[in-house]
Amino acid sequence: MAEDKPRVLKAPELPNVVKGDGRYLMTLLRQFLSDTAREVNLANGFTAEEIQSEGTGKVPTVKNFHLTFDRLGGLLAWDHTSKISDLAYYEIRTDKNVGSDSGLLERTRENTSTKLPLTYVGRVFCFVVLRDGEGSSGAEIRYTKARPSAPEDLALTKDQQGTLLSFLAIPLDCLGANVYINETKYPVTDNIFLYTGSEIIKTVRVAYYDQFGEGESTTIYCILPDVENFIVERNDSQLYFYWDAVPVHGVHYVVKVGTTPDWDKALTVFDTSDNKHRFIYPNVGDYYMLIKAVDEHNNYSQNAAYVFLTNQKDEHKNVIIELDQKASAYNGTKIGMYYDAAGEQLKLDKEVTHGEYLIDVELPQKYRARNWLDYACIGQTNESICLDDMNWAWDSIEASRTVWNGTVGDLKGVSVSQEIARYVGVGEDVLASAPLNGSLESAKGSGPSDSHNTVYAQGRWHSGLVVSDTMRLAYSCRVPRVFSLSFNLTVKQGFTDVLIATMEGDSGWLVLGYDARDACFYLRGSDGVTVRTSRSVPPNGREWYTVAVSQGEKKRTLYAYSLNYDTTVSGSVKAEPIGTFSTVYFYPKL
């Protein structure tokens, strides 16, 4: 038998093999491809010397168990067992449960197999099973096959038969390539493809594929694609333009305006190489804003994307609100300040250099915030006067006659170092927010499941619920396994050890609290995992905190932001979700 006499395949022998049996030819062809691709697989570490394991039972483990990827796919191979006469079959599996159909890839009496898991990363076991039912310990291969890289050197050539597409040769560990002409797929096994269709070629995309699927693709645009997701937003007299970048090198974009969506009749507004732009368009009325991409050869997109825009007269560039706080005896929230009734004025507390006076303001309509800041007063332009001489009141005649000269700064380039984003939920699956500002009802109109001694007091921005020793407050909720939850806290007279909130469900609970000794917030779970923030600034009086809890699939995180000191502390621990929660308590429940 040929299988009992291993042969070395040589190029001159191929003509004689063609005359023989077809199965023998495929065996030699696979052996030839395996030898050719061996250098590729050596880098991946799928060699027998590294993955074979000695058996500890009566039946010896197979030797030289190895995996090779070639142009025909992945091939598992091993040496026949020494007990070949008693062999029932070899079992190729993804686990060690010999005899089970779950995890079974193949049962065979051959010493090769093409059955592999359907993933780029996996492991394969080979077991020997004898006729009497005895089996060996498994030989294991752990493999990691790289996803096919993107083809290179794509080229199109037009001839009398059609359009010839060529690219670099298909890698030895891939089966072929998928050629997409206008997103119509044509599988090929060579790096040359002749397209004979009558459709005009707009895009050509090529991707290598192996037995696990496609790899990265390379695209050629024969016709410049249209711009997508074109958006125009209005902020006062400013127009903000956004769109998706066209995936072509060296393109720029031309934006036009017209009374109809006709590109040829529209007037050019601006030309930019970015995919966003800010522009002032002073004309009032209804207009179409149109955009096309232009490549480095001055080829335009076939169709123009457009947005219909109503540009109204800008009447609210600035809003001036005048509130007489003296008439109301300065009844707003005073931070680091007090009201002097005799002088009818606000004054700073002793040894305080910064004070805040907060009041509610009702705007006459909705406004969009502008990114300008008047941050410094450097003098006035009426006469040569020192700041020490400016001792008049704001509503005095002297102040009204003084023209202030300030410095206005642009906030462009300012970035947010940390941000806590509240999760507002989807549909009815989460607990709606409850502001606890004069009412216990949530935003969805549902009341608490338990409440006792709920007293309100003034906080930083508005009144809020006072957490006391006798207060009880609980809500029914539907918090999923993965969630984020935030609390706004106002501390009146410092913090001692306190339990802030408890979430409870059928699978366990989470307790949020503050540890006064370590000056940190903590989140303790029924699974034994405790998350602690780094040491926070301990409140010695008034303090304002935003505390947020985040539970992901693999990590549990706790944040705490101090408004008074403008600092954020956090802690994170790897932890699985405890489960869903049905009740949240704002008092020491557990």
Residue 129 and residue 62 in contact, taking contact as beta carbons nearer than 8 Å = no
User: What pLDDT was estimated at residue 535?
Assistant: 77
User: What pLDDT was estimated at residue 8?
Assistant: 41
CA triple 107-141-75, angle to 5 deg: 60
Nearest-angstrom CA–CA distance, 239 and 482: 39
Rounded-to-10 torsion of CA 228, 234, 240, 243 = -10
3-state SS, residue 406: strand
Nearest-angstrom CA–CA distance, 331 and 357: 9
User: What pLDDT was estimated at residue 304?
Assistant: 92
Nearest-angstrom CA–CA distance, 259 and 308: 9
Which one, of 244, 289, 298, 246, lies nearest residue 270 by Cα?
289
Nearest-angstrom CA–CA distance, 464 and 354: 24
Residue 513 and residue 498 in contact, taking contact as beta carbons nearer than 8 Å = yes
For 370-426, write each residue's pLDDT tens digit.
444 333 444 444 455 555 566 666 667 766 666 555 444 444 444 433 333 444 444
Which residues of the chain carry a pLDDT beneath 70? 1-57, 236-237, 282, 313-321, 363-395, 398-433, 458-462, 536-542, 590
User: What pLDDT was estimated at residue 144?
Assistant: 85
For 206-235, write each residue's pLDDT tens digit.
999 998 889 999 888 877 889 999 998 877
User: What pLDDT was estimated at residue 395?
Assistant: 65
Nearest-angstrom CA–CA distance, 48 and 42: 10
3-state SS, residue 17: helix
Tokens matching residue 98: 């010999």
3-state SS, residue 34: helix
Nearest-angstrom CA–CA distance, 143 and 124: 8
DSSP letter (8 states) at residue 11:
G
Nearest-angstrom CA–CA distance, 573 and 550: 11
User: What pLDDT was estimated at residue 84?
Assistant: 86
Nearest-angstrom CA–CA distance, 561 and 572: 15
Secondary element (H or E) of residue 78: none
Residue 167 and residue 177 in contact, taking contact as beta carbons nearer than 8 Å = yes
The single-letter code of the amino acid at 266 is: A
User: What pLDDT was estimated at residue 410?
Assistant: 42
